[in-house]
Amino acid sequence: MTTIRLAIVGLGKIARDQHVPAIAGTEGIELAAVASRNASIAGIAHFATLDELLAAAPEIDAVALCTPPQGRHLQAEAALRAGKHVLLEKPPGATVSELNPLIDAAQQAGRTLFASWHSRFAPAVEPARRFLASRNIKSVVVEWKENVKIWHPGMLGRRRDVEPFIEN
């Protein structure tokens, strides 16, 4: 089995609590580098930015972009241009319209572009998709139950605009 040398870009709470242990527990994946302004992991190559990482560590096979979604599109483009596979943490972009150009770029580069969304593999997702496909959705109400104080420290009080994913 070939080992995938992975870099995490943005070493915040989700990356530390979820990505690092998942990588450590997955055979064939090696955490080889981190790009983060404010955090590092002892014994792992560290860079302040993705651009520094891409320039100095060409042996990296893939990057997990765990940064805020507002800048993730440009980071994903840069990583794909550099020939890296890309994982986009949720949400995959600041807007839905950012995703199609990234899909095209990944196809042109022959690389994987994967958008994580922990619920997308839940057992109810496929039946819900089939149910919604046969209906004309006019509006959606989302009741958010995630504890922002735990999973998104510092976001409390900030406005978070959300573009609807289901349109008429």
Looking at the annotation, which residues are catalytic? 90
Contact 81, 109 (CB under 8 A): yes
What is the distance between the alpha carbons of residues 20 and 41, in angstroms, rounded to a whole number? 10
Collapsing DSSP to helix, strand or coil, 18 comes out as helix
Amino acid type, 123 = P
Specify the residue for token string 């790009």: 35
What is the distance between the alpha carbons of residues 66 and 12, in angstroms, rounded to a whole number? 7
User: If you write DSSP's letter for every residue of 74-89 in order, what string do you get?
Assistant: HHHHHHHHTT-EEEEP
